[in-house]
Structure 1
């Protein structure tokens, strides 16, 4: 079995950006988008290890950074923390998967589990931006 290797690094995705001026909305949105996109790049790598097809990001996921910034306050903070938490899970899991595949082990079932965790985490992060009435009903 050939070991798969990926060149992305989530290290930058686990830290909230610092030194971004509060009035520079585009820079804050861009920083959040970069972290969100890094998570999706990691999910693509995990999908490959799970032998799944690449999943394109839907419009709701693609617009999450802008919607989070627009929500502001506690919702933006919660989304930022959720992204950091999910980045840590993905980085740790992907590192373990790549270590297993480098030893010639089949990690496809573990990769599928991590891929499902990514989807659950992404759904939870998106739910932070739903209206309170909708969230309370589910």
Structure 2
């Protein structure tokens, strides 16, 4: 039995500089806030299909994009990625529910499941922007 060997030549590799310590510029929270609002509008539509009343969001939910931008760095990047991922789940889920509704089918159980998944994912995203 022969073992495979690999030769790694790092002579041509590009090394990234270390992250600069200290304050970083605050990222623009505008686009992040727009996407956060859009995800919540989709969740409101899903809640309606699940026969739930419209949710009142508290300040910690509303201020997430601003908090993430103020924290910056990996906090901001992870919140932005989390919101992208949540939007990627909500969009086709809502489309499917609306298609079923248009066919006259009852979507209450499926909508309630998607609504619960939204809240679980949102709680995870919110936990990223907690200051240490």
> Which bin holds the TM-score, normalised by the shorter protein?
0.7 to 0.9
* SS of structure 1 residue aligned to 2:29: helix
> 2:18 — aligned with what?
none
Relative to the length of structure 1, the TM-score reads 0.75
Partner of residue 21, structure 2: none
2:5 is matched with which residue?
none
Q: Which residue of structure 2 aligns with residue 96 of structure 1?
A: 96
2:70 maps to which residue? Answer: 70
Cα deviation digits, residues 92-132 of structure 1 (max 9, x gap): 10011001111110001000000001100100000111245
Aligned residue for 1:117? Answer: 117
Count of aligned residue pairs for this structure pair? 109
SS in 2 for 1:53: coil
Q: Gaps spanning 5+ residues in structure 1: where?
A: 1-21, 133-138
Structure 1: distance between partners of 2:76 and 2:48: 31
Query: TM-score with structure 2 length normalisation?
Result: 0.78
Give the whole-Å Cα distance in 2 for the aligned partners of 1:128 and 1:59: 16
Extract unaligned runs of 5+ from structure 2: 1-23
Which deviations, in whole Å up to 9, do the C-alpha atoms of 1:35-55 show, x marking residues without a partner? Answer: 000011001000000000000
How far apart, in 2, do the equivalents of 1:59 and 1:41 lie?
Answer: 16
The Cα RMSD (Å) is 1.6
* Greater share of helix: 1
Name segments (4+ residues, structure 1) moved above 3 Å.
Answer: 22-25
